[in-house]
Amino acid sequence: MTMLMTKLLFPLILTASLPQNHLNLMKHWYTKWRLKVNQSKSVHTTLTLRPAPCPPVTIYNTQIPILPSVKYLGLTQDIR
């Protein structure tokens, strides 16, 4: 399981391509180390104090579904 965390001092700088760029970099790393990503178990959740719509992201040409909460290491994290 991979969790991508980004902390920005100026949240307005966050562009639509930032999460997708990180996923593209991770995709190259997965390919290099011969790891396979299970797209059916992948979810996208944006945790922020300033809610704003986040564009859909894809990995290996499969769109990752956006969910309001996710369970990570036994802890449920949601958008609240």
Nearest Cα neighbor of 35 from 60, 17, 56 is 60
Report CA-CA distances (Å) from 80 to 16, 21, 51, 70: 22, 26, 9, 12
Would you put residue 60 in left (φ > 0), alpha (ψ -120 to 50) or beta? left
Q: Which residues pair with 63 in a beta bridge?
A: 58
Whole-model pTM: value is: 0.64
Q: Each residue of 4-56: pLDDT tens digit?
A: 666 665 555 555 567 788 888 888 898 999 998 888 888 887 777 776 777 78
Domain boundaries defined on the chain: 17-78
Residue 34's pLDDT is: 95
Alpha carbons 75 and 80: distance in angstroms, whole number: 14
